[in-house]
Amino acid sequence: MAEQDSTASLEEMSAEFMKIMEKNQQTFTELLASPQETLSAMMDPFNALSSFGEGMRQMAMNPQKLMAANMELWQSHMSLWQETTRKMMGQESTPVAEPAKGDRRFKSADWDEHGVFDVIRQSYLITSQWLTKTMSDIDGLSEDDARKIQFHTQQMADAMSPSNFLMTNPQVIKETVASGGQNLIRGMQNLKRDLEAGDGQLKITMTDQDAFQVGENIATAPGKVVFQNDIVQLLQFEPSTEQVYERPLLIFPPWINKYYILDLQPENSFIRYAVGQGYTVFVVSWVNPDSRLAEKTMDDYLREGILASMDAVEAASGSSEMSVIGYCIGGTLTAAALAYLAEKGDERIKAATFFAAQVDFSEAGDLKVFIDEKQLESLDQRMSEHGYLDGEAMSNAFNLLRSNDLIWSYYVNNYLLGKDPMAFDLLYWNADATRMPRALHMFYLREMYLKNSLVQPGGISLDGVPIDLTKVNIPIYLQAAKEDHIAPYNSVFKAKGLYQGPVRFMLAGSGHIAGVVNPPSANKYNYWMNEAQPADLDEWVDGATSHPGSWWPDWDRWLSELSGPKVDARQPGDGKLPALEDTPGSFVSVKS
């Protein structure tokens, strides 16, 4: 009977394997039929080969340094062999290489308990650490070449981890034996599902897509849509206090994602928190653009996004004064809008908060790896077919910044262990990507990341107005996160030296998302504050005090003093703008 079950399992596995191979063959055939320039772009999509070629040339010019590096690698492996021999003989031994703190690839006890896997793990760590160190220490490279080599070398090292392979991952071997190979059958089915979902490209499922429904169990803060145009829906949320601050709060989330990162569940909703503190909260829900909006520009997003929403808030609330929040790329545009308003003499915005928002892109982190003229030309050509960048492309780039956590861990879980991912609201939101109009996106990448034009007075103009951030003189709350890979805190801090008004810089724990979405009730992470607010980052960090838990109350104390007296609470639709539909609105429901 056991032999029959084993044969059936083998036949089922073979059948799934053949289906996947047929799909891959079809994709490969289509690839070979592509134009030569398309093939070239696909073979080197990150324009990294020339950087590696220059790296090899520079290394060849210094053979002594390369020989010393090779000797270091050989000595490390000899030390591993010696320590392994001691361990096998029952003597005290010391690990030669250990995973970095927070590296979850080797958390299973099997890596420690079985000598063979301990050797495999240490050998990999020795080699990968040596490789990344050696490739990061090449003399004579340009900054761009050095950044590309370091980033892509790390990607290669992560991909070759023994945890990613069936025969060198003890947890996978144990599961394969225990289940009679059923995990591999389920894994092949999961792989087939994700290949079909990506139309031949692997689209890794990170969470249970059936566990959440926008407007039902996420994005549920009650309110109304009170304004709409081609680019935005403006949401006004119902008050939960009898009185509210006179000045309403208008939030501009990033248009590369959907607004409900700020309203996932009731217990971690920043929107509900702000409403509960007595603010009349308005939030922009950006359109998920299609081909019709391909030529929408940064000028359009300023006029129809920022300025139109400000006018609508004034009409809906009856207040000509307000405060704003800009998150990530939404914050970049908000900063430019503040400079635009200053030039025009428009003083309606009295205070501004920025969540993980960059304006000086000189130290913008690993995302700059994807930005050079050749890659931008390829991207522009790719977008020209439909007039927009598919949301999946940007998500893939962000995932590469943390590939072990956001790619390989799911690869092992879904395809080797054959498990389904857990339900996780943040990852559901992350997968609910949005498209970007071609004209807007190319302007943003060229002028911000490639040229760093926004930081230069008059470096860009919006709607005919030269943008000069040094003319912004209102109070600013500048949030950054210590582990942010998308908007590094040293990059965010640079804005502090540009604005002329008082700036309260705050450094939160965690990263780009959890560093923002950290409600007081969770009692997680911490934040750092330096009340002296020195202009130098190192001085700021050295003199900062750590505070436990959420930074939201600190922000509330700051903004409450800048929001005017209390007035009777405003209900959505009671002002000059009628309610159009219930929140979360229809824009947020459009899938890419």
The pLDDT tens digits of the residues spanning 276-334 come to 999 999 999 999 999 999 999 999 999 999 999 999 999 999 999 999 999 999 999 99
Catalytic residue among 41, 184, 283, 328: 328
* Per-residue pLDDT at 25 exceeds 50: no
Q: What's the pLDDT score for residue 297?
A: 97
Q: What's the pLDDT score for residue 112?
A: 86
Stretch (H or E) spanning 325: strand 322-327
For residue 438, what are the CA distances in angstroms to 254, 392, 445, 462, 587?
A: 16, 15, 11, 17, 19
Q: What's the pLDDT score for residue 39?
A: 40
For residue 26, what are the CA distances in angstroms to 20, 99, 187, 200, 402?
A: 10, 40, 21, 9, 31
Q: Would you state the structure tokens that stand for residue 158, as one six-digit string?
A: 């992560």
The overall average pLDDT reported for the chain is: 91
Q: What's the pLDDT score for residue 102?
A: 84
- Report yes or no: 557 and 234 within 8 Å, Cβ to Cβ: no
Instruction: Give the residue carrying structure tokens 């959890």.
Output: 514
Distance of alpha carbon 495 from alpha carbon 330, whole angstroms:
15
For 141-169, give one letter per residue: b (16+ CB within 10 A) or e.
beeebbbbbbbbbbbebbeebbbbeeebb
What is the rounded average pLDDT of the residues 13-24? 48
What is the rounded average pLDDT of the residues 465-480? 98
Q: What's the pLDDT score for residue 66?
A: 87
Distance of alpha carbon 524 from alpha carbon 98, whole angstroms:
27
Q: Which fold has domain 223-390+433-589?
A: Rossmann fold (3.40.50)
For residue 543, what are the CA distances in angstroms to 156, 491, 498, 505, 533?
A: 38, 19, 21, 13, 9
The pLDDT tens digits of the residues spanning 82-122 come to 988 888 888 888 999 999 888 999 998 999 888 899 999 99
What is the rounded average pLDDT of the residues 235-260? 97
Backbone angles phi, psi at 364, to 5 degrees: -80, 5
* Per-residue pLDDT at 20 exceeds 80: no
Residues 6+ apart with CB under 8 A from 449: 361, 364, 367, 368, 371
pLDDT band at 40 (very low <50, low <70, confident <90, very high): very low
Distance of alpha carbon 349 from alpha carbon 557, whole angstroms:
18
Instruction: Tell me the one-letter amino acid at 200.
Output: G
The pLDDT tens digits of the residues spanning 358-407 come to 999 999 988 899 889 999 999 999 899 899 998 878 788 888 888 888 89
Distance of alpha carbon 487 from alpha carbon 367, whole angstroms:
9
Distance of alpha carbon 242 from alpha carbon 517, whole angstroms:
26
Q: What's the pLDDT score for residue 237?
A: 98
* Per-residue pLDDT at 9 exceeds 70: no
What is the rounded average pLDDT of the residues 473-481? 98
Lowest mean pLDDT among 370-379, 482-491, 494-503, 574-583: 370-379
Q: What's the pLDDT score for residue 11?
A: 57
pTM of the full structure: 0.89
* Per-residue pLDDT at 21 exceeds 50: no
Q: Does the active-site annotation cover 38?
A: no
The pLDDT tens digits of the residues spanning 511-535 come to 999 999 999 998 889 999 999 999 9
Q: What's the pLDDT score for residue 114?
A: 82
Lowest mean pLDDT among 148-152, 464-468, 565-569: 148-152
Residues 6+ apart with CB under 8 A from 176: 166, 183, 184
Helices 115-135, 143-159: inter-axial angle, 10-degree rounding: 170
Residues 6+ apart with CB under 8 A from 457: 466, 467, 468, 469, 470
Residues β-bridged to residue 462? 465
* Per-residue pLDDT at 31 exceeds 50: no
Instruction: Give the residue carrying structure tokens 């109070």.
Output: 475
Q: What's the pLDDT score for residue 555?
A: 98
Q: Tell me how many degrees the CA angle 517-521-524 measures, rounded to the nearest 5.
A: 60
* Per-residue pLDDT at 1 exceeds 70: no
Q: What's the pLDDT score for residue 342?
A: 98
- Report yes or no: 69 and 134 within 8 Å, Cβ to Cβ: yes
- Report yes or no: 278 and 247 within 8 Å, Cβ to Cβ: no
Burial class (CB in 10 A: 0-12, 13-18, 19+), 443: middle
Distance of alpha carbon 489 from alpha carbon 434, whole angstroms:
25
Q: Closest by alpha carbon to 422, among 413, 433, 431?
A: 413
Q: What's the pLDDT score for residue 5?
A: 52
* Per-residue pLDDT at 239 exceeds 70: yes
pLDDT band at 44 (very low <50, low <70, confident <90, very high): low
Q: Above pLDDT 90, what percent of the chain? A: 76
Domain ranges of the chain: 44-176, 223-390+433-589
Q: Tell me how many degrees the CA angle 64-49-135 measures, rounded to the nearest 5.
A: 35
Q: Closest by alpha carbon to 139, among 40, 58, 220, 33?
A: 58
Instruction: Give the residue carrying structure tokens 């077919």.
Output: 385
Q: What's the pLDDT score for residue 399?
A: 85
Position with higher pLDDT, 37 vs 415: 415
Residues 6+ apart with CB under 8 A from 410: 204, 205, 206, 421
* Per-residue pLDDT at 42 exceeds 80: no
Q: Would you state the structure tokens that stand for residue 77, as one six-digit string?
A: 């492996």
Q: What's the pLDDT score for residue 19?
A: 53
Q: Tell me how many degrees the CA angle 493-51-369 measures, rounded to the nearest 5.
A: 30
* Per-residue pLDDT at 198 exceeds 50: yes
